[in-house]
Homo-oligomer: A and B are copies of this chain.
Amino acid sequence: QSANEFRSQKDSLTQQLQDSESRNQVLEAQLSDLEQRLESIQLEREAFHKSLRSLLELLDSKLFELNELRDTLAKLIEGS
């Protein structure tokens, strides 16, 4: 091969390498963005579940109180 052919091949490879590395940077940015979104979604989900669990505990205490009220009514009816 002549020196010209080598130069031409070298230039073409250099261009391909630049394109590939540039594509790499785009992909790494997208990946980092997705990872942040995923993490943020997980944090939201945990906060949401924590709120739901608090609400479930509150519901439990209200149901307990309604059951006590039910027993009071039952005793009132029985006893009168």
Contact = CB atoms under 8 A, between A and B. Distances in A.
A59 to B, nearest CB: 5
Nearest to A12: B13
A73 B55 CA distance: 7
A43 to B, nearest CB: 12
Interface string A48-73: 11011101101110110111011011
25 contacts: A6-B10, A10-B10, A10-B13, A13-B13, A20-B20, A20-B24, A24-B24, A24-B27, A27-B28, A34-B35, A38-B38, A44-B80, A45-B45, A48-B76, A49-B77, A52-B77, A55-B72, A55-B76, A56-B74, A56-B77, A59-B69, A62-B62, A62-B65, A62-B66, A63-B70
